[in-house]
Amino acid sequence: MNIYHEANRAGWDAEAEQWQAGIEEEGLWHRCHREPELVFTPEESAWLRDLAGKRVCVLGSGDNLAAFALAGMGAQVTSVDISQRQLDIAAGRAGQLGLDITFLRADVTDLAALDSASFDLVYTGGHVAVWVADIWQFFAEATRIITPGGLLVISEYHPFRRVWQACANQFILEDPYFRRGPFTYDRADAGSATPLPSYEFHWTVSDYTTALLDAGCELLALREFGDGREKWERNNLEGLPLSLLLVGRKKSESE
Q: Is the pLDDT of residue 19 over 90?
A: no
Q: How confident is the model at residue 192 (pLDDT cuts 50, 70, 90)?
A: low
Which candidate, 164, 122, 80, 158, places its Cα nearest to that of 248? 122
More confident: 227 or 18: 227
**What are the structural domain ranges in the chain?**
3-250
51-70 exposure pattern, b = at least 16 Cβ within 10 A, e = fewer: beebbbbbbbbbbbbbbbbb
Sort strands 197-200 and 183-186 into parallel, antiparallel or unpaired: antiparallel
Residues 87 and 128: their CA atoms lie apart, in Å, by: 15
For 3-250, CATH number?
Answer: 3.40.50.150
Residues 13 and 168: their CA atoms lie apart, in Å, by: 31
Which candidate, 154, 169, 176, places its Cα nearest to that of 239? 169
pLDDT in tens, 39-71: 999 999 999 999 999 999 999 999 999 999 999
Cβ burial of 213 (10 Å; 0-12, 13-18, 19+) is middle
pLDDT in tens, 174-188: 999 999 999 999 988
pLDDT in tens, 200-229: 999 999 999 999 999 999 999 999 999 998
Q: How confident is the model at residue 23 (pLDDT cuts 50, 70, 90)?
A: confident
Q: What percent of the chain shows pLDDT beyond 70?
A: 98
Task: Output the pTM of the full model.
Answer: 0.95
Q: Is the pLDDT of residue 190 over 60?
A: no
The residues, any chain, with a CB within 8 Å of residue 243's CB and separated by 6 or more, are 41, 43, 155, 156, 157, 158, 224, 225, 226
Residues 218 and 61: their CA atoms lie apart, in Å, by: 24
